[in-house]
Structure 1
Amino acid sequence: RRFRAAAVAGGAFLATIVVGLVAAPSASVYYWAHLVSISGKVNSKLSVGTLNNQSVQGMFTRMLGDGGAASALWFLLCVLLCVLGLVAAARASLRGDELVGVVITGGLSLFVSPISWSHHWVWVVPAFVLLAHTARTRARPLWWWLTGTFFVFFAAWPMRLDLFGNWDGSRTLQPWGLIWLAPRDDDRERTWTPIEFLLGNGYLFAGIALTLILTWRILRDRTPLPTLAEPIPPPVAADPDPVSSGSARH
């Protein structure tokens, strides 16, 4: 029931559309007029199944190609994730765990979007803060392992890769994430080995795993949610003259 926050978020979204129409009117009109076709194909050369698209639809397109099966599986999995995730995010917020709710909601936005480029995954920053804080406060090795694994997947490492994910010793060292070790583009994603499949969907798998862990921990906690307290009546002022009020003893 945060109506003001919802209005601000909705207004900010509409403002981006207006700015886009003013700054690039023809491109903006084309985008909104072809939104459905864009969700299935980025352009004539680039499929939604390209490695750079770390979304659920991107993963299924890499597996099954551009077709109805990929879209159907994308829809079903997104419905399941959203139902569980939004309920968990709401419960976390009501308990005062705002960061948990934000991380879950941010992750869901990446999963359900038809296109979630690798640079859209800025939500890993608050997620890493949450993991590090949990590991520090709980002081359990499991949480430190999760934090370290999360960092390894999403950190940028100095590597010499060409534009298709092949190691090229003649190139200068540049920061790459582990997903870029998998072959990409020109339908190379369709011939991935099992290891390349895990690497190439690494952002998505790590994000879904973290979201499911957080959701499970929240939903299994059956502690009643806090409710708004009843208004406390103002204290009754003491009568300065107990005799006149009839409260004196006789």
Structure 2
Amino acid sequence: MVTSPRARLLTVLALAVAVGLFITLVPGHRGWFDLGVYHGTVGDWVHAGGDIYGYTRLDTHYGFTYPPFAAVVMLPMSLLGWHTTIVAHLALTALACAAVLYWLVDPIAREHAWPRLFTVGVATCLLALLQPVRDTVSFGQVNLLLLALVLLDARLLSTGRHRWAGVGIGLAAAIKLTPAIFILYLLLAGRRRAAAIAVGTAAAATLLTALIAPGPSWTFWTEVLGDTSRIGDLAYVSNQSLRGVVARLDPAVPRTLPWLVMVAGTLALWAVRVRRAARAGDVWGGFALTGLAACLISPISWVHHLVWAVPALILLAGAGLREPDARRHRRLLWSAGAAWVILCSGVVWLWSRHHTGLDGFVGGSAYAWLTLALLAFLPLRSPAPAAHQPAASEPITAARP
């Protein structure tokens, strides 16, 4: 560990410059395309009386695919110019990342008596290199904002402040349907109050939107929700869900049954593991597992959606750092490092044009396999002895999965 404050500052600055150069020079910037869809949609809705789900950006067929509550939340964009919108998005995303890293990395720094700002600074650089994070930022996506909303509930539950737990999940589910799986997690974990608050929040946001925008609400729930053609090609290599894995076997052959079997098996594995996490009082582990499951079972999980794997990566590294057994300590840290490298590499794009054959099946879905491995093997904390239940701030001891 770097000891001098000056050396720590210079180290973080050097890392930040290196990361900035990497992001700038490596191809793959998305030109804030999705942010342009959001900005154009609400602008057309407010200023031209357009249809939220009728707007498409430029000469593409891509339009707004989220529930109408998301458009209501994004209404301030209609008052901002394009470049101001980009700056606002970057600022909000930076705040979301800061919150996530504070909740997940700062406890590791405190546990090992590391300089907290230095540790979070290094973690920020490592986070920025992940392709899902890079894509979320350069697309102008909302993934990191939703991640922070959901993890706010994990923070509240892990610190015993249950009164408002569930609001973050409810708002996230009203903005984008995928986070609704966290309501099922709350039920499996016996957090009925938080689950009820999440359902109530999502329902209230949806009903309020129906009063504000009845037409778009009707269109979304009766037409748009089931129209997969608005989202994209299931077999496209960026789709790292189980549905994408199956679709890439042969896009011309429907394979709904195998996909449903894989989803059922994944949900069964997830349910067993989150129940175990709940018995151990491992709130963060349960949330991390649920984020992984959400990516796998969703019909579409673009690469940028895999920011939901970030908590699992951090918890895996944390488990390795506190593991007393030397062999397992090395194995967990190597696993965390390998997972981070894979998610930074963009390796799946090697099969963007040709994803057939065994190599395409394995390499073209590398992120999906990694997500499944994390779901199956992420270490969870051991149940506390009956005589001593640890406080939320006490160190967590990793157990074999």
Query: Which TM-score applies when normalising by structure 1?
Result: 0.65
Taking the aligned partners of 2:271 and 2:371, their CA distance within structure 1 comes to: 15
More displaced 10-residue stretch of structure 1: 194-203 or 146-155: 194-203
Provide structure 1 residue ranges, at least 5 long, that are not aligned to the other structure. 158-176, 230-250
Q: In the alignment, is the contact (CA less than 8 A) between 2:238 and 2:303 conserved in 1?
A: yes
Taking the aligned partners of 2:376 and 2:271, their CA distance within structure 1 comes to: 12
The Cα of 1:205 is off from its aligned counterpart by: 0.5
- Percent identity over the alignment is 29
Q: Does 2:289 align with 1:104?
A: yes
Please give the per-residue CA displacement for 1:99-123, whole angstroms capped at 9, x wherever unaligned: 2211111111111111112222122
The Cα of 1:129 is off from its aligned counterpart by: 1.1
Aligned to 2:271: 86
Aligned to 1:178: 347
Q: In the alignment, is the contact (CA less than 8 A) between 1:131 and 1:143 conserved in 2?
A: yes
Taking the aligned partners of 1:148 and 1:19, their CA distance within structure 2 comes to: 45
Aligned to 1:115: 300
> What is the aligned residue count?
194
Q: What's the C-alpha RMSD, in Å, of the aligned pairs?
A: 3.2
Taking the aligned partners of 1:124 and 1:85, their CA distance within structure 2 comes to: 14
Aligned to 2:121: none
Aligned to 1:213: 377
Residue 5 of structure 1 aligns with an amino acid whose one-letter code is A
Taking the aligned partners of 1:77 and 1:36, their CA distance within structure 2 comes to: 23
Provide structure 2 residue ranges, at least 5 long, that are not aligned to the other structure. 1-189, 390-401
More helix by share: 2
Aligned partner of 1:127 among 309, 312, 323: 312
Taking the aligned partners of 2:243 and 2:199, their CA distance within structure 1 comes to: 25
Taking the aligned partners of 1:108 and 1:4, their CA distance within structure 2 comes to: 23
Paired residues for 1:122-201 under 5 Å: 122-138=307-323, 139=326, 140-155=329-344, 177-183=346-352, 188-189=353-354, 191-201=355-365
Q: Does 2:174 align with 1:5?
A: no
Taking the aligned partners of 2:359 and 2:205, their CA distance within structure 1 comes to: 39
Residue 93 of structure 1 aligns with an amino acid whose one-letter code is A
The Cα of 1:77 is off from its aligned counterpart by: 1.0
Taking the aligned partners of 2:362 and 2:205, their CA distance within structure 1 comes to: 35
Aligned to 1:53: 239
Q: 1:35 to 1:81 in 2, by over 3 A?
A: farther
SS in 1 for 2:227: helix
The Cα of 1:152 is off from its aligned counterpart by: 0.8
